[in-house]
């Protein structure tokens, strides 16, 4: 039972409780972590990537990868540090005291940030991006039926 378990129904909860009970009988020592909230949605992920590209095209201060690094470090890391004790511990021990700001930006290529977020956290991340770019770039949520998908061709 080392893989994450998603409990989204009464039968899934009952199965989980049975598995935990079985592990308890076998080992008499368990470490359990419970996280609430759904994983980020593909639509949210597509929006963030579309926004990285939009910001890069409009501001021309960096390419889309540079914008992504900047946003992950400056908006995503604070959200996860505030809400995920495991992430905070890793970041505060391995990244925060040892890397320069430029090195932290490059570390965003390897450190999962947005991929660890729940839908609620990624929504907060997207809102933080919007707030940060107010007056510079108009980042809008697309209508429900026009959410961009990564790799999909966009209408001109």
User: Model confidence over 125-154: pLDDT tens digits?
Assistant: 999 999 999 999 999 887 665 544 444 443
Is residue 125 a contact partner of residue 52, using CB atoms and an 8 Å limit? no
Distance CA 15, CA 99 (A): 44
Structural domain boundaries in the chain: 1-34, 42-146
pTM reported for the whole predicted model: 0.69
Distance CA 9, CA 31 (A): 23
What contacts 113, CB < 8 A, 6 or more positions away? 72, 73, 76, 77, 80
Task: Please report, rounded to a whole number, the percentage of residues in the chain having pLDDT higher than 70.
Answer: 85
For 12-49, what is each residue's pLDDT tens digit? 777 888 888 888 899 998 888 777 766 555 588 889 99
- The encoded tokens of residue 132 equal 């940060």
Length of the chain in terms of residues written: 156
């Amino acid at each position: 039972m080392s893989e994450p378990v998603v409990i989204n129904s009464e039968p899934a909860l009952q199965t989980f409780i049975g598995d935990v009970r079985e592990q308890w009988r076998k080992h008499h020592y368990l470490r359990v972590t419970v996280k609430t909230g759904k994983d980020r949605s593909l639509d949210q992920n597509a929006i963030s990537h579309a926004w990285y590209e939009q910001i890069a095209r409009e501001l021309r201060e960096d390419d889309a990868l540079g914008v992504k690094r900047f946003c992950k470090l400056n908006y995503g890391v604070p959200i996860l540090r505030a809400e995920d004790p495991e992430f905070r511990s890793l970041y505060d021990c391995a990244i925060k005291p040892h890397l320069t700001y430029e090195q932290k930006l490059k570390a965003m290529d390897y450190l999962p940030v947005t991929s660890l977020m729940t839908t609620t956290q990624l929504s907060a991340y997207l809102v933080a991006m919007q707030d940060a770019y107010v007056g510079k770039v108009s980042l809008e949520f697309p209508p429900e039926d026009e959410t961009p998908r990564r790799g999909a061709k966009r209408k001109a």
